[in-house]
Structure formats: structure tokens, C-alpha cells
Amino acid sequence: MKALISPDEPVYNYATPPMQIGVRIAETAAQDFPVAPPLYWVDCADDVDATTYYYDGANCVVKPTPPVQEYALISPNDKIYDNTYTPPVLLGFRVVAVSTAQNTPPAPLYWVKCPNNVTPTGYYYDGNGGFAVLPAGA
């Protein structure tokens, strides 16, 4: 089997920060055929396919699985306060739910992207794109 390599199309891992780990396999075929540079052919295993593999410069490798984006459902009417101050200081808003899919919530609830470790019972939303651990007693 042959893999057609597209060196101008990078493939990245999903760590932070993202790093290029190889280049895209544009196509696989039993027999190579003439292609325009910069494309080129390499030998590969019979089970390699262009949708699930990339080329790392030496081998055809299975692509890493992208992380699933999680979303937090925010309740702006359910406020979190730091009660150690007088008067209490507004910290943010309650996370009602966390999901990988977004439905249309009833107003005034809304979805925001969140890190995968956020949970409704352990975090609040600060209103500016950040999440923090709920203070004791919140």
C-alpha cells in the first residue's frame, strides 16, 4: 500500500501547548501515481487510511483523538459570594451542569466553554471566561 503525503498540512497533538507531530496523509492507494510537489508517496501498511492516520516523517501513525470540548451551563441568577467580607463579595455564578453537547437552555441560563475538570458541585464561573473552585460553604 502507498500513502500520499501532504507536507504542507501539519497534524498536531492536543496537549497544551499544541505541537506539530507530523503531516497529513492525503490519500492511500494500492499503486502510486504521478503527483505534483510537494506531495510525495511512501510505503505504508495495508490497513492505513487517510482519515485516521498521519505521517510522522518515518511511519504512518494513528492520529491522536481530539479532546472533547466541555461546556458549563451557567445560572447568572444564582450568585456565588465570598462571605468572609462585609458586605459579601460577588465571586461569580453557579455552574448548573456540564456537558459535551449544548441544548437551548431556558433564559437566563447560558453555555460557556470550560476545562474538562469543571464540575457543577466543585466550581463556579467568574463571568469573565474563568472557573474557580467553590469556596467552603458556597
Express each pLDDT in 32-46 by its tens digit: 999 999 999 999 999
Q: Is residue 83 part of a domain?
A: yes
**pTM of the predicted model, to two decimals?**
0.55
The CA R_g of the chain, rounded to the nearest whole Å, is 23
Report the distance separating Cα 36 and Cα 44, nearest Å: 20
Same domain for 53 and 76, yes or no, is no
- The pLDDT value recorded for residue 64 is 84
Report the distance separating Cα 73 and Cα 94, nearest Å: 9
The total of structural domains in the chain comes to 2
Q: Is residue 138 part of a domain?
A: no
- The pLDDT value recorded for residue 13 is 85
Task: Pick the closest to residue 127 from 86, 99, 89 (CA basis).
Answer: 89
- The pLDDT value recorded for residue 101 is 87
Residue ranges in the chain modelled with pLDDT below 50: none
- The pLDDT value recorded for residue 48 is 97
Domain of residue 37 covers 2-62
- The pLDDT value recorded for residue 52 is 95
Cell representation of residue 80: 456565588
